[in-house]
Amino acid sequence: MAPDLQATHDTARAVARRSYGKLVAFLAARTRDVAGAEDSLSEAFAAALQTWPQRGVPSNPEAWLLTVARRKMIDQARQRRTGEEAAAHLMLLEELAAAEEGDAAIPDERLALMFACAHPAIDAGVRAPLILQTILGFDAAAIASAFLVAPATMGQRLVRAKSRIRQAGIPLRVPGQADLRERLDAVLEAIYAAYAEGWTDPAGTLARRRNLAQEAIWLGRLVASLLPEEPEALSLLSLMLHTHARRGARRDATGAYVPLAHQDPAAWDAPLIDEAEALLHRAGALHGLGRYQLEAAVQSAHGVRRRTGRSDWAAIERLYDALHTLTGSPVVAINRAIAVAETRGPQAGLDALDALANEPRLAEYQPYWAARAVLLARTGATPAADLAYERAIGLERDPAVRQFLQHQRGQLHAS
């Protein structure tokens, strides 16, 4: 790729990562046509890749893209004939006339769009995926993978949800305090799902995941600032900061994977941990106890190793007990089994894992097989551990983690 073309592509990707959701939210704020905003913005990016290499990247790429996307939406509106669409057309023309200067700051409507996606008129199961797509630009296939749904099915659900926003006249605005709290769960779930997607690519090698973790933290800060007395908003931010503080320690100097138990606490980001602890303390002083407060407390109990040299496994087991009672999640049950192995021995942990053997969602879940392999090895069941490692290795997508598991498997037969 020629240098100018490469620079153009790099700029377009940077703007997309930084501002995709901001531009979609602004375009859809008055029309409620989320799909139309996404389509128009996609066409604007395509136009940028054709125009910028010849004319140069504009001084304000966001404003350029917004102007082009607006014009695309107007072109679409001109082809419509119903009264409703004519009104939308006139509104778009007014919008364009008011913002043709291009250099004015673009209002950030992302939070308003997030809460519109979490409206009760939207099916509960699609609210978080819809937020991920509209705010962060996830494609349907990536969202489907995160939520264990077929890509075609997820795509259909997202299309229907966007149509619902327009047909039901759902306003793109931050609701009043009572309604806002009712929709908070879906918003927080989407933010955490975005963080998890970025967390799985610590080296930043996948374009669609790059900076997702930081973007999710930004969204978490935004919601926490809006709801400073909401313990779950504070706790989610605490949880993400706790885990993000250890991001750099997950790889050694050669790029090899380092699991949490083997990480050097001195390599953790102390200021981030201190901020996370302060947020968790604030959440604990407020009324209510929820999922994110418990999960953040688990990470805090791991962080105790900075001072004592050992995670507080007794506290971690109790926290996972409470979290499993609250959520019934098999993923939580796996983590609880690992904690049980630390407090009561590997056989007790393996017994806890065995109780999950009939859970169909875990058949293709790599952490289940990795945990099972470790505990089988610790009980001396080498052949069964070898098979579990084989399954875990086959399911792992991260080359560094796969190499780590292969090394662990090799250690079974080293002595």
pLDDT for residue 102 is more than 50? no
Q: What is the mean pLDDT of the chain?
A: 85
Torsion, Cα of 216, 221, 222, 223 (10° steps)? 90
Kindly tell me if the per-residue pLDDT of 99 is higher than 60. no
Tokens representing residue 327 in the block? 């959520």
257 three-class SS: strand
Three-class DSSP category at 169: coil
pLDDT at 86 over 80: no
Task: Tell me the C-alpha distance between 65 and 318, whole Å.
Answer: 51
Query: Which pLDDT band holds residue 1 (cuts at 50, 70, 90)?
Result: very low
pLDDT at 349: 96
CA distance 202 to 210: 9
Cα distances (angstroms) measured from residue 112 to each of 26, 58, 176, 211: 10, 28, 11, 22
* Nearest-angstrom CA–CA distance, 53 and 43: 16
| 132-183 tens-digit pLDDT | 888 878 888 878 876 768 889 999 999 999 999 988 888 888 877 777 777 8
Q: What does the alpha-carbon distance between residue 230 and residue 286 come to, in Å, rounded to a whole number?
A: 8
pLDDT band at 272 (very low <50, low <70, confident <90, very high): very high
pLDDT reported for residue 358:
87
Q: Give domain limits for the chain.
A: 1-105, 109-214, 228-311
* Interior angle at CA 317, CA 186 and CA 385, nearest 5: 100
- Over residues 245-269, the mean pLDDT reads 93
Give CA–CA dist 36/23, Å, rounded. 12
Give CA–CA dist 318/166, Å, rounded.
46
Rg, Å, the chain Cα set? 24
Residue 206 has pLDDT above 70, yes or no: no
What residues contact 373, with CB distance under 8 A and at least 6 apart? 385, 388, 389, 391, 392, 405, 408, 409
Where is average pLDDT lowest: 48-57, 223-232, 292-301, 359-368?
Answer: 48-57
Q: What percent of the chain has pLDDT over 70?
A: 88
Query: Is residue 94 pLDDT above 60, yes or no?
Result: no
First to last CA, the chain: 52
Mean pLDDT confidence for 50-59: 84
- Region 12-26 average pLDDT: 81
pLDDT of residue 201: 60
Residue 76: per-residue pLDDT: 74
Higher pLDDT, 89 or 322: 322
pLDDT of residue 285: 95
Which residues sit opposite 359 in a β-bridge? none
CA distances from 289 to 52, 126, 329, 351 (A): 51, 25, 17, 29
Q: How far apart are CA 323 and CA 329, in angstroms?
A: 8
The band of 101, judged by pLDDT with boundaries at 50, 70 and 90, is: very low
**Can you give the pLDDT at residue 184?**
87
pLDDT band, very low/low/confident/very high, at 352 (cuts 50, 70, 90): very high
Q: What pLDDT is stored for residue 204 in this prediction?
A: 47
